[in-house]
Structure 1
């Protein structure tokens, strides 16, 4: 890990929509790169776990000997941002997962996998995000939602109306942030900027290594 003025933020790249996150982070002036091996993880001041297929992600992380190093770094406080499948990967508990499904954990939440339905049930809309003056345009693709959140979890966004009204779709706990939706596909970098600021704040509190 390095700590410097320009943070180094990796994007888990064994599966998922990696390129879009790298592009947004690069636009924000971050040293953004892909992470497929433990030695690449060591460069990270922060990490993004992208959307994709959570069951495939944890299996590939095991195959490439990345699962345990990821869990250790997250447990040690590395700022991490999970979107959609990435939210599932950060959750301590999963409902409707496959038999034996593993997560990296860290967030004291219970998520329901594919909570909004199949691919054809994907949708988008405007939702209020805590701390932002204007709503964010949220794109939900086979998305999870948070069914239970522990006392230490800050709720950042919920579904405002419809059958899923009130469902939690964005949370933060310490250095961990997760959204059910895909901010990387919208023309709005505020949530990524929110995470970059979190990485910078975390880096300033750590010694250079």
Structure 2
């Protein structure tokens, strides 16, 4: 077990610096990844939010798509948030023609499931492996044009679902009960953006997955 693993953050688009900061707060050494040599130097990788179709195109431009797909197949621990969840999915609904994923998680993800930017919201979620620990509390989550998981295979562990209400007490407009956090082996995915809330517990969970080797 490596108590201070080196974890990369795919640095093609999205909240790269925020993920780096959260990983370091959780006890990892974090570096941005833009090249194959950098990918080969890390023990785990974060796929940040952004626009999944743009990230897909940039992965091909930077010649990282095939190496990353192979690394996931070989067991590299990967955490995908928002667009990163889409990239880890084996199947996409509401994707665009020709859109590809890295794959690895036996899930069907619906792209832009919650609607437009104006439909973004926050909610306090009970996340398995975090909120159920001694002294644990719900995780404050932010959903911005987020995906959700429509279907999950038998090897996928569901960690969280959308509650009935947001943090201000308003009813959730769409998606109540949908899966928004899941784990399969060494892969972790969330619909939401923990890197922008100041709560690094999701990143700490991923660091522990990487450190376990």
Q: TM-score range by the shorter chain?
A: over 0.9
**Residue 11 of structure 2, aligned match among 10, 13, 18:** 13
Which of 142, 146, 160 pairs up with 2:145? Answer: 142
Q: Comparing 60-69 with 158-167, which one deviates more in the overlay?
A: 158-167
CA-based RMSD: 1.0
Could you tell me which residue of structure 2 aligns to residue 182 of structure 1? 193
- Is the CA contact (8 Å cut-off) linking 2:180 and 2:191 kept in structure 1? yes
1:5 CA displacement: 3.9
Q: CA deviation at 1:4?
A: 4.2
Where 2:180 maps in the other structure, the secondary structure is strand
* Number of corresponding residues: 200
Structure 1 distance, partners of 2:60, 2:206, is 26
The question of 1:196 aligning with 2:207 is answered: yes
Deviation track 1:125-148 (CA, whole Å, cap 9, x = no partner) reads: 111101223110000000000000
Structure 2 spans left out of the alignment, 5+ residues: 165-171
How far apart, in 2, do the equivalents of 1:100 and 1:114 lie? 17
Which residue of structure 1 lines up, in the alignment, with residue 97 of structure 2?
99
Q: Describe the superposition over 1:144-196 as per-residue Cα deviations: whole angstroms up to 9, x where unpaired.
A: 00000000000000011134211000000000000000000012111100000
Deviation beyond 6 Å, 4+ runs, structure 1: none
TM-score norm. by structure 2 comes to 0.92
- What is the aligned partner in structure 2 of residue 109 from structure 1? 107
Structure 1 gap segments, 5+ residues each: 203-209
Q: What does residue 157 of structure 1 align with?
A: 160
Equivalent runs, 1:15-164 vs 2, <5 Å: 15-131=13-129, 132=131, 133-161=136-164, 162=172, 163-164=174-175
